[in-house]
Structure 1
Amino acid sequence: MISPSIQHLIEEKSGSFLIPASRIAFVQDDNPLYHAFLILTKVKYSKIPVLDKNRRVVGLITLAMITDKMLETDEISIDPLNNLKVRDVMQRDFPKINFVETTLERQLHLLIDNPFLPVVDSKGVFQGLLTRREWIKAFNYVFHTYDEHYMAIPKKPSKSQLINKIVTTK
């Protein structure tokens, strides 16, 4: 469970967590694989979302997934890039979240193993990405402003406080 005071400070920043869909590079599941190869090469991201025609997130694709299809026994071939669709190669099993339904604690747990999480609305339509980087920025805010908002009183004295108390009472 996240401490209520920490959660409150993080929620102050949670509006800035979402990178909107309009700023995200993506490909459609029916695009030729060469299109995804070009997009990933140009945007220099390691992984991007795959959307269907209804703008729902249906997968994720990486440059490594594409280049794996290009590797033949003795050489590299670009032929598969023309013959395969993004849906033939994409990762289909991945976490996605809805801001309204997903707690901050669940978001944090998912971001431990994922650099970003696709965010969808109640109809599954892609809204943007929640990134580990934005969460780290929120923690940075908490670390630097906590004392401006709250006064922490330890429930138990620390070892150094106990030693100080013993030394000063002698």
Structure 2
Amino acid sequence: MQISYFLLPKEQVAYITSSISMMEAMEDLERHHYTAIPIIDEEGKYVGTLSEGDLLWKLKNSFNLDFEAMRDIPISQLQRRVHNESVEITANMEDMLTLAADQNFVPVVDSMGIFLGIIRRKDIIAYYTDNITD
């Protein structure tokens, strides 16, 4: 089986660009009910994952930072504490499953690092639950 079987394509995935502000990122997380969201750059390459915790730590550790000031801080200035490793679409299942064991989702890229979508751990579990019998 190829990992593309589990791919949720970019067109169906909420993601943010590396140039948006903290406030825009927070609004996107809230709108999609996510706790973490993939970040892509202007070229469409996967650059990391932003979590709610990243936003909260920035708020906590920044003197006099309020919600309005968050409009002026690009997410590229935030320290990200969680690193969701990506996997190439041509990778083998074992590599993808190793990442999925530790990540809620695995970002999928092509050989140039262009973001193609994600593989959700819940979809992997559902597949194996439905297809493994005693």
Using the aligned pairs only, state the percent identity. Answer: 21
Give distance in 2, aligned partners of 1:58 and 1:68: 20
- Which residue of the partner structure matches residue 96 of structure 1? 86
**Cα distance, 1:59 vs structure 2:** 1.4
Count residues with an aligned counterpart: 133
**Cα distance, 1:133 vs structure 2:** 1.0
Report if the CA contact (8 A) 1:96-1:120 is conserved: yes
- Asked if 1:45 corresponds to 2:25, the answer is no
Decide whether aligned partners of structure 1 residues 35 and 51 sit closer, same or farther in structure 2, where only a CA change above 3 A counts: same
What whole-Å deviation, never above 9, does each CA across 1:66-89 have from its counterpart, x for those lacking one?
A: 122223689872144123111111
Q: Which piece of structure 1 moves more, 108-117 or 86-95?
A: 86-95
Give distance in 2, aligned partners of 1:84 and 1:75: 13
Q: Which runs of 5+ in 1 are unaligned?
A: 1-10, 147-170
TM-score normalised by L of structure 1: 0.69
Give distance in 2, aligned partners of 1:61 and 1:88: 12
Give distance in 1, aligned partners of 2:126 and 2:84: 24
Letter in 1 for 2:12: R
Bigger proportion of residues as helix: 1
Bigger proportion of residues as strand: 2
**Cα distance, 1:90 vs structure 2:** 5.3
CA RMSD of aligned residues (A): 2.4
TM-score normalised by L of structure 2: 0.86
SS class of match (2:19): coil
Q: Which runs of 5+ in 2 are unaligned?
A: none
Give distance in 2, aligned partners of 1:130 and 1:121: 14
Decide whether aligned partners of structure 1 residues 132 and 72 sit closer, same or farther in structure 2, where only a CA change above 3 A counts: closer
Give distance in 1, aligned partners of 2:68 and 2:34: 23
Decide whether aligned partners of structure 1 residues 98 and 23 sit closer, same or farther in structure 2, where only a CA change above 3 A counts: same
**Cα distance, 1:23 vs structure 2:** 0.8
Q: Which piece of structure 1 moves more, 82-91 or 103-112?
A: 82-91
Of the two, which has the highest radius of gyration? 1
